[in-house]
Amino acid sequence: MGGGLGSLGARKIPDALNVYTERTRMRFAIDAHAIGQHLTGNEVYIRSLMTSFCTLEDPARFIAYLSKTEASADIPTGMATRLVSANPFARLGWELPLHLRRDRPCLLHVQYTGPLFCPVPLVVSVHDVSFLEHPGFFSPARVFQLRRTVRRTIGVAARVLTVSEFSRQSIERHYPEAAGKTVVIHNAVAPHLRPMNRVQARDRVRGQFGLSGPFVLNVGDLQPRKNQIGLIHAFEQLIAQYPQLPHRLMLVGQNKWEAPMVRQAAEKSPAADRIHFTGWVDDASLRLLYCACDLFVFPSFYEGFGIPILEAMACGAPVACSSTSAMPEVADGAGVFFDPHSVEEMTRAMRDTLLNAELRSRMERLGQQRAAAFQWDRAAEKTLDVYRDVAGLAADSPSLAARPARAAR
């Protein structure tokens, strides 16, 4: 009997070593086509995760699929890259499946939509379901596409990642098949976003953007969901009621669907000479604007998270934001809230913050404390936990999608 046990043990030890060795060689693939495309939140999310992954793991364990050759400059050294088409039909229809068969990673991580045929387990990040709850904020073609592809992707995914408890509840309400496999991992703030001297920041803003004097800042793509038109009306009301205020309104963001309506509202406004558009700006310029503004206002109707809220707080700007969707969850007690459908409430929030130095100072302090609680390294570690879980399930079970998710909230 002793010889039998010894023989069994001799067989099991190499097997265990082989399993351990194989798992240490696991490679994780990431659809990073958003990098370099100015896709705002989606781009910040995946780029920030990949940067943090490589502070926690060997970069050689990751493969990034990019749609722009110049995007490789934003990829951590040592991480493998593959070029795929920016055309979603080509990328999702055949290019990603072909690469996955050649690269043989343990899983693929996508945002919203996975490839038509995916030969490896799938992890999908769904930041929100605004296309279902507020379809009027999107073009009909975009709503049609997302309705079809997101449901299919969630159905086959091993795990669904989302960025807030609000979004988890919304996803599981619309997609019951996501229940039990949805994991909440909050977004965070890039390390370079930190306070700097406001006078120096204003001097640099004047040199770069030609804008002198105090200003109110908004950051977000120009589109109906972001509610810049409501902000323009509230700003003109603020200036009409308090003409002694010298402030201007700075709108930062690239043109998206129905952006001309936002610009027309600014042109027709009685405060038109005080409203400025910058278009898309790079990370360094964005930090300058956050640090130089007297107030950051985020009047969006709907957000699955709202990264600009935390970015502004991290740079020391007082924040006034909407009281809807995930924004109270993100800002917590560190923001001044208003109903985004009420111009009067928005005007009052701006007035109270700009005219009350004590309130403004308190919001600046609380905002920095709140932003410090959200770190990309922490989000990356939790995401890697999901990757390891899915990779382990894939090795142990052919039906990993039916297995319950680990608690990672």
Q: What CATH number is attached to the domain comprising 241? A: 3.40.50.2000
Residues 343 and 384 in one domain: no
- State pTM to two decimals: 0.87
Per-residue confidence band for 212, with pLDDT thresholds at 50, 70 and 90:
confident
pLDDT digits (tens, 9 = 90+) for 162-187: 999 999 999 999 999 999 999 999 99
Per-residue model confidence (pLDDT) at position 164: 98
Residues 226 and 77 in one domain: no
Region 16-31: what's the mean pLDDT?
63
Is 3 contained in some domain?
no
Burial class (CB in 10 A: 0-12, 13-18, 19+), 402: exposed
Is 56 contained in some domain?
yes
pLDDT digits (tens, 9 = 90+) for 290-311: 999 999 999 999 999 999 999 9
Q: Per the structure, how many domains does the chain have?
A: 2
Per-residue confidence band for 351, with pLDDT thresholds at 50, 70 and 90:
very high
Strands 107-111 and 122-125: what pairing?
parallel
Question: What is the maximum alpha-carbon separation in the chain?
Answer: 95
Mean per-residue pLDDT over the chain, rounded: 90
Region 338-351: what's the mean pLDDT?
98
Residues 162 and 210 in one domain: no
Is 193 contained in some domain?
no
Residues 176 and 278 in one domain: no
Burial class (CB in 10 A: 0-12, 13-18, 19+), 294: buried
Is 1 contained in some domain?
no
Residues 109 and 202 in one domain: no
Per-residue model confidence (pLDDT) at position 397: 54
Residues 146 and 235 in one domain: no
Residues 183 and 202 in one domain: no
Per-residue confidence band for 130, with pLDDT thresholds at 50, 70 and 90:
very high
First to last CA, the chain: 48
Is 274 contained in some domain?
yes
Q: 139 is in which domain, residue-wise?
A: 17-188+376-402
Residues 79 and 209 in one domain: no
Is 8 contained in some domain?
no
Residues 391 and 351 in one domain: no
Residue 7 or 33, more confident? 33
pLDDT digits (tens, 9 = 90+) for 86-104: 999 999 999 999 999 999 9
57-64 contact pairs (CB < 8 A, 24+): 57/384, 60/27, 61/25, 61/26, 61/27, 61/28, 62/27, 62/28, 62/29, 62/30, 63/27, 63/28, 63/29, 63/30, 63/103, 63/105, 64/29, 64/30, 64/32, 64/35
Per-residue confidence band for 39, with pLDDT thresholds at 50, 70 and 90:
low
Per-residue model confidence (pLDDT) at position 407: 41
Residues 175 and 255 in one domain: no
Q: Is residue 42 pLDDT above 50, yes or no? A: yes
Per-residue confidence band for 405, with pLDDT thresholds at 50, 70 and 90:
very low
